[in-house]
Amino acid sequence: MFESLSDRLSGVFDRLTKQGALSEEDVKTALREVRVALLEADVSLPVARDFIKKVQDAATGQSVTKSVTPGQQVVKIVHDALVEILTGEGEPGALKVDSPPAPILMVGLQGGGKTTTTAKLAKRLKEKDGKRVLMASLDIYRPAAMDQLAVLGTQIGVDTLPIVKGEKPAAIAKRAKQQATMGGYDVYMLDTAGRLHIDEMLMGEVEEVSKIVDPRETLLVVDGLTGQVAVEVAQEFDAKIGISGVVLTRMDGDGRGGAALSMRAATGKPIKYVGLGEKMDALETFEPDRIAGRILGMGDIVALVEKAQETIEAEQAERMMRRFSKGQFNMNDLKMQLEQMIKMGGMQGIMGMMPGMGKMAKQAEAAGMDDKVLKQQIALIQSMTKRERANPQLLQASRKKRIAKGAGMDVSDLNKLLKMQRQMSDMMKKMGKMGKGKMMKQAMAGMFGKGGGAPDMGADGMGGMDPSQMDPKALEAAAKQLGVQGKLPGLGGMGLPAGLSGFGKKK
């Protein structure tokens, strides 16, 4: 989402943190580079100027230039300023849908992703908040717009208002309100029509619908790839009809992310959600502190944990833990772990969310370590019989040749996979003997470099530490200790052993 900006800023801060002491001139030079990086990322000039002034005032004080780690202090100040510029009112992603039926009005220009976002948000409200949702399309102009919403509703299991040909938007809004009230729905969502540009007819229509339903939330859907135009669109919509929040779409593309940084400062309206793809679950809450962490290359461990929780079932996790505590780990377990990694976004996705691992993810990609490697490993395991997967030690030379041939790989690749499974199995046996308590202590000791016991973990799970104040090199070293040194982060806190490095590299 903010790849180019993150790369530029990490370069500036790397140079800054390498210096033992900082003069005011050093800080000013670094902040000049930060300003250029922000402008190149399509952040509006007034926002970039105010941001740099705020950071400069805080970063050129005596407490910073004479601090023990002045470089880290500047990074912390920039992090806090980013959080401030991105933060809106209330909880991130919270919608006012308490007293049913609560109307949500979706507005925006044509092609911004309104209809898809309406369905994504309806799915989220249904599955995460347990709301009963009704969707209605008011777009009588775009061909098959109403049918598109009906098809998406069927896909996600959310009711849509029956289509009546020739009905005007105001009449559809009244019918949706009536059906939501009589049908016992908690929320009804109105997908309004868009235009290629803002015109009086569009605004008049949206105003009329707004008066009929009196929406709790008016969400503006804008295309994140349009940069500063998205901010201008938000300002115009807010001036004419009043919006309560913004949803930025296509933030998974190669856009420079400047719209996200400018939106809150320029419009005063919070970004509620960001769309990260076409799939119905590709909608994320916009969390300012976590977004700031990603921009500064600090990773996003919380998002990684959430992804793991979404992709792995509780029963499956419990079953795996019981096996691991007994020291059991065969090819079926390894296959399950590899499939889990692909579901969580693959190697680059996982490494990109780990603190200090952003650069390592790119190095792994350049070295040929991509998701193709995981799929090749799964193909090798699938070429085995059930008995061989449960007992890999049964494999003889002739069977190894046939398995490798069946997966389109070399015998050497299969041997590396078997070695990796043996190492993980040995590790599981050791952990099984230690018991769960000692297992966790050892993992924490490895992570924080403590010889013996784990540090006292606070309510936030970070032992009261602020990741933005931690040395990126220390974070990177900790990540390496967690099993990513030329390898991959395993699931459940385990690292895949050295057998993976060099496996299946691009030829």
Q: What pLDDT is stored for residue 124 in this prediction? A: 92
Amino acid at 381: I
CB-based contact 223:112 (threshold 8 Å)? yes
Percent helix, strand, coil in the chain, to 5, is 60, 10, 35
Amino acid at 353: M
Strands (E) across 125-252 are located at 133-137, 159-160, 187-191, 217-223, 245-249
- Predicted structure pTM score: 0.62
- Token readout for 20 is 């033992």
Q: What pLDDT is stored for residue 353 in this prediction? A: 61
| 8-state DSSP, 466 | -
Q: What pLDDT is stored for residue 16 in this prediction? A: 72
**Cα dist from 290 to 294, 349, 353, 475, whole Å:** 6, 15, 10, 16
Q: Which of 371, 373, 370, 376 is nearest to 407 (CA)?
A: 376
Cα separation, 186 vs 184, whole angstroms? 7
Q: What pLDDT is stored for residue 497 in this prediction? A: 39
CB-based contact 183:71 (threshold 8 Å)? no
CB-based contact 207:240 (threshold 8 Å)? yes
Note the Cα 205 to chain centre separation in Å.
35
Q: What pLDDT is stored for residue 360 in this prediction? A: 59
Cα separation, 23 vs 9, whole angstroms? 19
Q: What pLDDT is stored for residue 104 in this prediction? A: 94
Q: What pLDDT is stored for residue 490 in this prediction? A: 39
- With a cut of 70, which residues of the chain have pLDDT below it? 1-4, 18-22, 61-70, 88-90, 253-257, 294, 297-314, 345, 347-349, 351-370, 432-507
Q: What pLDDT is stored for residue 351 in this prediction? A: 65
- Token readout for 429 is 């046996």
Q: What pLDDT is stored for residue 461 in this prediction? A: 39
For the segment 442-459, what is each residue's pLDDT rounded down to a tens digit?
544 443 343 333 333 333
Q: What pLDDT is stored for residue 117 in this prediction? A: 94
| H-helix or E-strand spanning residue 442 | helix 411-448
**Cα dist from 464 to 32, 293, 443, whole Å:** 33, 17, 18
Q: Is 427 left (phi over 0), alpha (psi -120 to 50) or beta?
A: alpha
Cα separation, 293 vs 83, whole angstroms? 9
Q: Which of 238, 256, 253, 245 is nearest to 48 (CA)?
A: 256
Q: What pLDDT is stored for residue 135 in this prediction? A: 95
Amino acid at 355: P
